[in-house]
Amino acid sequence: EPEVTQTPSHQVTQMGQEVILRCVPISNHLYFYWYRQILGQKVEFLVSFYNNEISEKSEIFDDQFSVERPDGSNFTLKIRSTKLEDSAMYFCASSVQGQEPQHFGDGTRLSIL
Amino acid sequence: QQPVQSPQAVILREGEDAVINCSSSKALYSVHWYRQKHGEAPVFLMILLKGGEQKGHEKISASFNEKKQQSSLYLTASQLSYSGTYFCGTESGDSWGKLQFGAGTQVVVTP
């Protein structure tokens, strides 16, 4: 069964550094998402992306965050200047259309020191 | 605004049934249900759309009351593999694709 793949599985970064999290959505999916989950808490929506532009974003997704689809397969989340509170598990998800099941990748655990 | 889930936790013996509820104060277009095991990604269980359509691939049933903006997930004849945290994600008509997740319901199924 096709999967959403995310790399790296674990990223350790110094506070203030830039970090890029990478995702390869399922190939025939058109909608892409980033979520985060702070340890022990609920999953939080960050951003949705369709047709090479952001469809929706949450209040968490401030100017420090950006997303990009640099080629036909990758979907990236960049955090420009990381803060301690950015430490979380970041999940990428994709769906065929906007009102279809969203399939999650295994996540990237981001640890900010 | 995030949906409210209840109960927070439930302990079941194998073979028992349970119901998990999810309610929202906003008009919903769809409700998505996921199960997450510790340290793993959320796994899609079911989507319930306004108008009655349902899509899912697990032997788990759910309902969506559009008038009350409530959904219920039914765990029937529970198996050990049903253990995990169940999240509902709601999608309102003004923000398609943006899932707002509830705080989760922890389910423990014991032998």
Q: Between A and B, how many CB-CB pairs are < 8 A?
A: 67
In 3-state terms chain A splits into helix, strand, coil percentages (rounded to 5) of 5, 50, 45
How far apart, in Å, are the Cα atoms of B80 and each of A22, B93, B105? 34, 36, 16
Q: Does B29 touch chain A (CB under 8 A)?
A: yes
User: Bridge partners of A45?
Assistant: A35
CA A48 to chain centre: 9
How near does any CA of chain B get to the CA of A77, in Å? 17
Q: Which of B41, B95, B103 sits opposite A42 (nearest CB)?
A: B103
φ and ψ at residue B81, rounded to 5 degrees:
-70, -10
Which stretches of chain A sit within 8 Å of chain B by CB? Answer: 31, 33, 35, 41-45, 48, 50, 55-56, 58, 91, 95, 98-107
pLDDT score of B57 more than 80: no
Tens digit of each residue's pLDDT (9 = 90 or more) over B10-35: 999 999 999 999 999 988 889 999 99
pLDDT score of B110 more than 90: yes
Tens digit of each residue's pLDDT (9 = 90 or more) over A33-44: 999 999 989 999
Q: Do B95 and A58 touch (CB under 8 A)?
A: no
Give chain B positions within 8 Å (CB) of A104: 34, 41-44
Give chain A positions within 8 Å (CB) of B41: 91, 104-107
Q: Is B43 helix (H, G, I), strand (E, B) or coil?
A: strand
Q: Does B42 touch chain A (CB under 8 A)?
A: yes
pLDDT score of B58 more than 70: no
pLDDT score of A8 more than 90: yes
Q: Does B4 touch chain A (CB under 8 A)?
A: no
- Kindly state the percentage of chain A with pLDDT values over 90: 84
Spatial neighbors of A49 by CB under 8 A, at least 6 apart, are: A31, A32, A33, A55, A67, A69, A75
How near does any CA of chain B get to the CA of A102, in Å? 7
Spatial neighbors of A55 by CB under 8 A, at least 6 apart, are: A31, A48, A49, A98, B96, B97, B98
